[in-house]
Homo-oligomer: A and B are copies of this chain.
Amino acid sequence: MPLEQLLEAYADRVEKALDRFLPSPDVEPVRLHAAMRYATLGGGKRIRAALVYATGEALDAKSEHLDAAAGAVELIHAFSLVHDDLPSMDDDDLRRGRPTCHRQFDEATALLAGDALQTLAFEVLASSDVDPAIIHSRLAMVKMLATASGSNGMAGGQALDIEATGQSLELEQLIGIHELKTGALIHAAVMFGALAAEEETGTVHDNLDQFGRCIGLAGSDLAANKATFPAIMGLQAARERANSLLETALASLEPLGDNGRSLADLARFIVHRHY
């Protein structure tokens, strides 16, 4: 399947899963539920969900496990955007061409909606109808998602970014911040696909770990929404760096053979859409 079609199919699929996971807008507290749905549904390329699906499919993971894994990653991503946009953080009025959650609702509701979206991600992973055979991998996903989101992941990157405001940073520091803010969750998305597949072997696991790290780092710059790297390192150097990360990522897919084709396309898409 051409990548564009594949991305659309994955986005559709995670959208339907998220619609099921999110609380109904008719159930109290209706305003909170409306805000959670507003912040999550109908948006973005769903790159993280696509990474979960493509990795899981490359390893023949069961379809229903992938929906929970992809949904959880997108819920964490949505939570982080809602809180990043708040007045005490980036104070943004628009997100994907629509008013941000606190502009559409109010600040308190946006704060609580973000909190509840984070909670829901973990609830989805721990959902009580989990097949006993995958309890182990679900608990591993909880651990991995928590690490990618917490003070040594997304929240930590955000904190370092705030501390660094107005300071001039070394390139390495900047890369470190972006890796935490964005790369950690992209890496987790790849590993979620691997964890959802019961048959995955040690070698493939390590290879996907490397793939996830490279794509995460290459993608960090993109999702940071600021073209800071090119400004510091020069556009040519940035391109070279991204291409070198992409080469390493693609090489680590080799053991998957033809099964890794969608993942490879996705990696090229993530790295090239900016450079």
Q: How many residues of A contact B (CB 8 A)?
A: 54
Supposing A135-B135, A151-B36 touch, asked if A118 and B116 sit within 8 A by C-beta, the answer is no
Contact of A111 among B88, B109, B125, B136 (CB under 8 A): B88
Contact of A108 among B79, B88, B123 (CB under 8 A): B88
Q: How far does the Cβ of A231 sit from chain B's closest Cβ, in whole Å? A: 23
Contact B146 A122 (CB under 8 A): yes
Flag whether A127 is at the interface (Cβ < 8 A): yes
Contact B86 A23 (CB under 8 A): no
Contact of A135 among B106, B122, B127, B136 (CB under 8 A): B136
Q: Which residues of B contact A187 (CB under 8 A)?
A: none
Contact B122 A107 (CB under 8 A): no
Q: Which residues of B contact A126 (CB under 8 A)?
A: 139-140, 142-143, 146
Q: How far does the Cβ of A274 sit from chain B's closest Cβ, in whole Å? A: 26
Supposing A31-B159, A142-B139 touch, asked if A89 and B116 sit within 8 A by C-beta, the answer is no
Contact of A122 among B23, B79, B112, B122 (CB under 8 A): B122
Closest chain B residue to A90 by CB distance?
Answer: B108
Q: Which A135-163 residues sit within 8 Å CB-CB of chain B? A: 135-136, 138-140, 142-143, 145-147, 149-152, 155-156, 158-160, 162-163
C-alpha spacing A149/B117, complex, angstroms? 11
Flag whether A120 is at the interface (Cβ < 8 A): yes
Flag whether A130 is at the interface (Cβ < 8 A): yes
Contact of A118 among B119, B128, B132, B163 (CB under 8 A): B119
The 8 A-B pairs at the shortest CB distance, nearest first, are namely A123-B146, A126-B143, A119-B150, A88-B107, A32-B159, A126-B142, A29-B159, A116-B155
